[in-house]
């Protein structure tokens, strides 16, 4: 089985100083950097997803802003990983993600990212994710607060595997 690590929306707007800082983003970033290292050591591909607002007057991820950029430490760790740009919660919707994954021969997805109850969830349970064995890395995801994080992971666990990356 060819497994790909998919990292969704770990963008500057979600970190301290950004437009919409989330709960626990630094610990989530550290866990994700470690997951990237493990994926690389196993020869598994890494794919990054970046959300871009449809207009320049949105509250976050405005095109061309620093906030819309992927966190620099994540970019450095991911190296030459492809970046898929999306404008919807589902990372497959109107993007080339399926083509990118097919190019790697992907059969399994390990998902990390922000926000758990939104883009992570919509991607994990997307009808376009159905061909893949999907797992969500609980320690590599976060959202607005601890309670919503726990609710989202519990809800996701009825549809996909929710595991801690170790």
Peptide bond connecting 166 to the previous residue in cis, omega within 30 degrees of 0: no
pLDDT tens-digit series, residues 95-149: 999 999 999 999 999 999 999 999 999 999 999 999 999 999 999 999 999 999 9
The ranges assigned to domains in the chain are 3-163
Compute how many other C-beta atoms are within 10 angstroms of the C-beta atom of residue 41: 8
Residue owning tokens 């969500």: 136
* Average pLDDT over every residue of 50-60: 92
pLDDT at site 87: 97
What's domain 3-163's superfamily in CATH? Isochorismatase-like (3.40.50.850)
Residue owning tokens 């430490």: 73
Q: What is the pTM of this model?
A: 0.97
The whole-angstrom separation of Cα 84 and Cα 142 is 20
The whole-angstrom separation of Cα 155 and Cα 161 is 11
Confidence of residue 55 (pLDDT cuts 50, 70, 90): confident
**Is there a contact between 129 and 92 (Cβ–Cβ < 8 Å)?**
yes
Average pLDDT, the chain: 97
pLDDT at site 57: 87
């Amino acid at each position: 089985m060819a497994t790909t690590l998919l990292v969704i929306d770990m963008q500057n707007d979600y970190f301290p100083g950004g437009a919409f800082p989330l709960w626990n983003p630094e610990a989530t970033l550290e866990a994700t950097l470690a997951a990237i290292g493990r994926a690389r050591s196993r020869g598994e591909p890494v794919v990054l997803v970046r959300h871009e607002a449809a207009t320049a007057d949105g509250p976050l991820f405005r095109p061309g802003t620093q906030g819309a950029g992927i966190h620099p430490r994540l970019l450095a760790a991911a190296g030459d990983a492809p970046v898929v740009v999306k404008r919807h919660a589902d990372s497959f919707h109107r993007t080339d993600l399926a083509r990118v994954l097919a190019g790697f021969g992907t059969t399994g997805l390990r998902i990390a990212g922000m926000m758990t109850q939104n883009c992570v969830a919509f991607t994990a349970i997307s009808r376009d994710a159905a061909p893949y064995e999907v797992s969500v890395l609980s320690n590599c995801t976060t959202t607005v607060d601890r309670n919503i994080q726990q609710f989202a992971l519990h809800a996701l666990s009825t549809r996909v595997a929710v595991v801690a990356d170790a």
